[in-house]
Amino acid sequence: TIITIPLIPQAFRLVNRDNLFFLCLFYISYMLASVTWSDAFFEEPTPWRGVYDHLKHGAQLLIFILGTRVLMQTRPRQYEQMRHILFFAAGLAGMLTMLYWYSAHSFPDTRVVGFSLTENPNDLAFVYGAVCTWGFAFFISKQGLVSRLPYLLVLTALVLLLFLTQSRGALVAITCATGVFGLRRQGIKGILLVVAMLGSVMVTVVLIEPRIADEMIARGDSTRIALWSDIIKETLHRPLMGSGYLSNAVIEIGTHRLNAHSAYFATFRDGGLVGLTLLIGMLTLACKRAYGIGNQTGDYTWLAALVFAMVFLITAGDRLIDRPKEVWFAFWLPIAMIIALSSGPSPATQRENVA
C-alpha cells in the first residue's frame, strides 16, 4: 500500500469515469460513515481508536484498488509473472501447511489450520481457493502435457488442502468457479480434466478416510441459522441504515461467540438495506464487466475468482473492509483487477499502439 501511494494521482486519472470504481468508493465510504450512527459512537468515552482503525483500513483499501489499476496497466507482464510465482509458492506453502499440521494433530479428526496467515480453517480455504481459480486459468491456457503438468500437480495439492480444511463453503464455491471456465469455447478438454482432477482428489480422500466426509456432514448448519436469525432480529430495529460499523460483531449462541458467518448478513447488520443494496449492485456490475472481459479476451479468470468469493462469503466472513489478509486478497483483488482491465488502456499501451 505504501509503495502505491505516489501512484494515486495517476490512478484517479485512469478511473476518472469508471462506474465500478465509484460504486466501490461509494460502498466503502457509506460503510465507514456508518460509524457515526453506531450506538457505541455516542458512548463515553467515544471509541476513537475503533473509528481510526476503520478509516485507516478504508483508505488503505482504496489505495490498494487504485495501485492495482496503475500497476496492472503499466506493468502487465511483471504483474502476470508475479501471479505465476505466487501460484507455485502457494502450492509449496499448502504442502508445508498440511505436513506441519498433521505432524502435531490427529488425522482426520482435526481441520487443517494455517500457521502465520490465519487460525481459522475457513479463512485458509478462502485464500487458497482464490489461488486455485488462477491455477485453473493457467492450466487451461497451456498446451501440451509437459507445460500443464506443473500446474496440475500444484492444483492437486491446493484442492487436497481445501478438502482437508473441511470447509464446505469453499468446496461449493470452487466448484461454481470451475464451472465459469465452461464459458470459454476453447480449452474444453482442459476444463474437463480439471473437473475430473477435482472429483478424483475428493473421492480418493473420502475412500481412504471416510471420516472426513462424516465430520463435514455431522457439523450440520454449525448454528448459522440461529446466528442469522439473531442478526435479522437485531437489524429490523434499523432496517434502512443498520447498526453501524462500530456495532458489536460478536453474537453468543450457547457457549459460542461467533461473527456473522456471512459477509452479506454482516453488511445488512452494519449498513442496513442501503449497504446491502450497494454491495449487490457493486457485485452485479463487477460480474457483468468480468463477463465482458472474458468474451473479449477468452480469459474468465477474474469472473471465476469473483464467483468463488461471492459464493464463499454467503456462509463465511464478516466485514469486508477490515480484513487485509484474506478478504482483500480473495475478494477485493478480483474487483480491482476487473476495474484495471475494463477501464481503458494504459498510457503505455496507447503509446505502443500508436507506434
pLDDT category at 83 given cuts 50, 70, 90 is: very high
User: For residues 39 and 243, what is the distance between their CA atoms, to the nearest angstrom?
Assistant: 7
Share of the chain above pLDDT 70, in %: 76
pLDDT of residue 278: 96
| pLDDT tens sequence across 266-306 | 999 999 999 999 999 999 999 999 999 998 888 899 999 99
Burial, 83: exposed, middle or buried (Cβ in 10 Å; 0-12, 13-18, 19+)? middle
Amino acid at 182: G
Grid cell of 205 as nine digits: 480422500
Asked if residues 262 and 317 have their Cβ atoms less than 8 Å apart, the reply is yes
Asked if residues 290 and 177 have their Cβ atoms less than 8 Å apart, the reply is no
Share of the chain above pLDDT 90, in %: 30
Grid cell of 42 as nine digits: 455516542
Q: Would the pLDDT of 219 be above 70?
A: no
Closest C-alpha to 163, from 107, 119, 227: 107
Residue 116 or residue 102, greater confidence:
102
Q: Would the pLDDT of 312 be above 60?
A: yes
pLDDT of residue 337: 94
User: For residues 24 and 10, what is the distance between their CA atoms, to the nearest angstrom?
Assistant: 18
Contact partners, residue 219, CB within 8 Å, separation at least 6:
166, 168
pLDDT of residue 346: 44
**What's the whole-number average pLDDT of the chain?**
80
Q: Would the pLDDT of 85 be above 90?
A: yes
Asked if residues 137 and 308 have their Cβ atoms less than 8 Å apart, the reply is no
Q: Would the pLDDT of 1 be above 60?
A: no
pLDDT of residue 297: 87
User: For residues 333 and 339, what is the distance between their CA atoms, to the nearest angstrom?
Assistant: 10
| pLDDT tens sequence across 225-264 | 878 888 888 888 889 998 888 776 666 555 555 677 889 9
Q: Would the pLDDT of 53 be above 80?
A: yes
pTM: 0.85
| pLDDT tens sequence across 171-209 | 889 888 888 887 765 555 556 666 666 666 566 555 555
Residue 72 or residue 341, greater confidence:
341
Closest C-alpha to 140, from 103, 198, 187: 187
Q: What is the CA radius of gyration of the chain?
A: 21
Q: Would the pLDDT of 211 be above 50?
A: yes
Dihedral over Cα of 185, 282, 130, 200: its sign: negative
Mean pLDDT of all residues in 327-348 = 80
Q: Which region among 5-14, 211-220, 294-303 has the lowest average model confidence (pLDDT)?
A: 211-220
